[in-house]
């Protein structure tokens, strides 16, 4: 069966509520993958290609808008800690230091993203780039899991300031679709001396300014093509699925990495990327 035939079969099976089902699927994919080291952007691009829903203005707008669901899921869970930081950062050095650390980690990718936005969109948002990045990133996760790393830091709020900046520099690699913002942050933190859990938790903290900033910037850049008319229900479905499954992942991921390696995510990336390459060239 060809790739186009597979796409036609999937779309034909969905039936008359096709847009709502597409919205639910894409929202689920965004929620499940945003905070895991598997690349939500890569998964969304591949799924939009399969569903045939990414080449028009609404498809592009939808992919931007549903990210807000995953962002709000994280902010909802971390609201108490965020409030604590906000109320103590001007009176307690530990809180102020952590806020400075998050900003240091955020700045490199923010600067690179703003400067190279046009190049990223025109040259890197390619399915072949996504698939190759998924495969390479999978092998990097396997490699990091096998390293005999001695963890020196066990709390994401206690990293040295230069370490926060170093993690931010590593995160710049994730501007390539398929690399994974969470994956780059986790790998960078572990290589700099964090244990698996604190590295994963810092990926949540860094996701807050990074995702909010990327969402706002993308929305601003796409303001002329954002298509909302008549699509409120579709957007609401995608948003709801993104929020629900993002919430589930954030609540469970840290417990998972305390007891398991990243192997399952690594092999998923490798299998998905390999299948994508095969589909693009041979189906």
pLDDT at 15: 57
Per-residue pLDDT tens digits for 117-166: 888 888 888 999 999 999 999 999 999 999 988 899 999 999 999 999 99
Q: Report the pLDDT value the prediction gives residue 58, as an integer from 0 to 100.
A: 65
- CB contact at 8 A, 142 and 266: yes
pLDDT for res 258: 85
pTM for this entry:
0.88
pLDDT on residue 234: 85
Task: Give the pLDDT confidence score for residue 65 in this predicted structure.
Answer: 80
In this structure, what token pair is assigned to residue 164?
């926060």
Dist. CA 122–CA 112, nearest whole Å: 15
pLDDT at 283: 74
State residue 281's pLDDT score. Answer: 87
Q: Provide the pLDDT for residue 124.
A: 87
Q: Bin 43: left if φ > 0, else alpha if -120 < ψ < 50, else beta.
A: alpha
Ranges of the chain with pLDDT below 70:
1-17, 54-60, 222-230
Query: DSSP label at 222?
Result: T
What is the domain partition of the chain in residue ranges? 3-282
**DSSP letter (8 states) at residue 176:** S
Cα–Cα distance, 283 to 263 (Å, whole number): 28
Q: Which residues pair with 153 in a beta bridge?
A: 194
């Amino acid at each position: 069966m060809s790739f186009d035939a597979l796409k036609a079969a999937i779309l034909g099976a969905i039936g008359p509520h096709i847009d709502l089902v597409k919205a639910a699927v894409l929202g689920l994919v965004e929620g499940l993958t945003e905070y895991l080291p598997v690349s939500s952007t890569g998964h969304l691009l591949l799924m939009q290609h399969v569903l045939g829903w990414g080449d028009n203005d609404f498809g592009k707008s939808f992919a931007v808008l549903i990210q807000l669901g995953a962002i709000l899921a994280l902010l909802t869970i971390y609201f108490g800690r965020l409030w604590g930081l906000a109320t103590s950062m001007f009176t307690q050095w530990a809180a102020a230091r952590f806020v400075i650390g998050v900003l240091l980690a955020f700045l490199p990718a923010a600067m690179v993203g703003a400067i190279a936005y046009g190049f990223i969109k025109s040259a890197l948002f390619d399915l072949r780039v996504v698939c190759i990045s998924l495969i390479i990133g999978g092998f990097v996760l396997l490699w990091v899991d096998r390293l005999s790393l001695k963890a020196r830091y066990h709390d994401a709020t206690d990293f040295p300031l230069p370490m926060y900046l170093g993690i931010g520099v590593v995160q710049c690699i994730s501007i390539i679709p398929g690399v994974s913002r969470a994956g780059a942050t986790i790998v960078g933190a572990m290589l700099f001396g964090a244990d698996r859990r604190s590295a994963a938790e810092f990926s949540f903290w860094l996701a807050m300014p990074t995702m909010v900033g990327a969402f706002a910037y993308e929305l601003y850049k796409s303001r002329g093509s954002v298509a909302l008319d008549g699509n409120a229900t579709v957007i609401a479905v995608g948003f709801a699925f993104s929020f629900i499954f993002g919430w589930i992942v954030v609540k469970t991921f840290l417990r998972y990495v305390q007891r398991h390696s990243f192997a399952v995510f690594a092999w998923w990336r490798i299998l998905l990327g390999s299948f994508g390459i095969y589909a693009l060239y041979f189906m």
